[in-house]
């Protein structure tokens, strides 16, 4: 099934929101609500199912409040394959544990779980829903950082250019903080920079 054929009723989304928000730190609710709003707008702009985008956004940070120890317990519980870099970073882990919880506890289909799985790092060859959730998380209305307006504009003009910009900004931020960037983000950045460069040459 194409993701765009997945739909959820208002009632289903309301119930999802109620359950998911109870699992969040209250301070994170405005971000998650903003992400849902942005994901729905991006879905309408780019021809994705707005309710599938809403469901993925509602659940994208569902395990974010958990400690590193709790994240690792979920990794074991759901036998999630993880490399060392992933295991060492609770910030990255919440994306994989969030995807597992979305599937096991909320019965979400693969297309939605995968958008949750990749929302923090990105990856090459993302699906439309994966792109939308990655960008919605980055540019939702409560986000405020240098360059956010440029990224917001790009997200509604050209998705791949927005990804190339967002991924390079994310790498810059990680490097600036003195950390080693995660391999999937490096690969994703390389992939989308090439797409944009080659696209512009045609
Ligand atoms: Fe997140
Ligand atoms: Fe988020």
CA of 31 to the centre of ligand 2 (A): 7
> What is d(CA 63, CA 25) in angstroms, rounded to the nearest whole number?
10
> What is d(CA 110, CA 194) in angstroms, rounded to the nearest whole number?
28
Q: Which of the ligands is closest to the CA of residue 58? A: 2
Parse the chain into domains and list their residue ranges: 3-144
> What is d(CA 141, CA 157) in angstroms, rounded to the nearest whole number?
17
Cα maximum dimension of the chain: 49
Q: What is the CATH number of domain 3-144?
A: 1.10.3210.10
CA of 36 to the centre of ligand 2 (A): 10
CA of 60 to the centre of ligand 2 (A): 6
CA of 91 to the centre of ligand 1 (A): 7
CA of 29 to the centre of ligand 2 (A): 10
CA of 199 to the centre of ligand 1 (A): 30
Please give the pLDDT value at position 109: 97
CA of 61 to the centre of ligand 2 (A): 5
Q: Is-contact 100 82, C-beta < 8 A? A: no
Per-residue pLDDT of the chain (202 residues; tens, 9 = 90+): 567 789 999 999 999 999 999 999 999 999 999 999 999 999 999 999 999 999 999 999 999 999 999 999 999 999 999 988 888 888 899 999 999 999 999 999 999 999 999 999 999 999 999 999 999 999 999 999 999 999 999 999 999 999 999 999 999 999 999 888 999 999 999 999 999 999 876 5
CA of 100 to the centre of ligand 2 (A): 16
> What is d(CA 179, CA 170) in angstroms, rounded to the nearest whole number?
12
CA of 145 to the centre of ligand 2 (A): 15
Tell me how far CA of residue 54 lies from CA of 15, 37, 49, 62, 75, in angstroms: 12, 7, 9, 14, 25
CA of 130 to the centre of ligand 2 (A): 13
Q: Number of H helices and number of E strands within the chain?
A: 11, 0
Q: Which of the ligands is closest to the CA of residue 34? A: 2
Q: Is-contact 163 122, C-beta < 8 A? A: yes
Q: Which of the ligands is closest to the CA of residue 94? A: 1
Other CB atoms closer than 10 Å to residue 16's CB: what's the count?
A: 21
Tell me how far CA of residue 51 lies from CA of 96, 125, 141, 156, 194, in angstroms: 22, 23, 19, 18, 31
Please give the pLDDT value at position 88: 87
User: Which residues, in sequence order, are CB contacts of 140 under 8 Å at separation 6+?
Assistant: 31, 34, 35, 37, 38
CA of 94 to the centre of ligand 1 (A): 7
Interval 150-170: pLDDT, tens:
999 999 999 999 999 999 999
């Amino acid at each position: 099934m194409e993701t765009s054929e997945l739909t959820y009723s208002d009632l289903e989304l309301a119930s999802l929101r109620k359950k998911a928000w109870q699992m969040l730190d209250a301070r994170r609710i405005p971000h998650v609500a903003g992400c849902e709003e942005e994901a729905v707008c991006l879905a309408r702009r780019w021809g994705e199912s707005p309710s599938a985008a809403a469901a993925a956004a509602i659940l994208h940070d569902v395990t974010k409040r958990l400690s590193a120890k709790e994240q690792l317990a979920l990794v074991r519980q759901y036998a999630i394959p993880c490399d060392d870099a992933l295991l060492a970073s609770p910030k990255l882990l919440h994306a994989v544990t969030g995807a597992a919880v979305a599937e096991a506890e909320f019965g979400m289909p693969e297309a939605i779980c995968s958008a949750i799985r990749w929302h923090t790092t990105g990856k090459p060859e993302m699906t439309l829903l994966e792109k939308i959730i990655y960008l919605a998380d980055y540019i939702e209305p409560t986000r405020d950082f240098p360059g956010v307006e440029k990224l917001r504009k790009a997200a509604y003009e050209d998705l791949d250019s927005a990804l190339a910009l967002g991924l390079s900004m994310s790498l810059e931020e990680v490097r600036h903080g003195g950390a080693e960037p995660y391999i999937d983000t490096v690969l994703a950045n390389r992939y989308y920079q090439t797409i944009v460069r080659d696209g512009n040459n045609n």
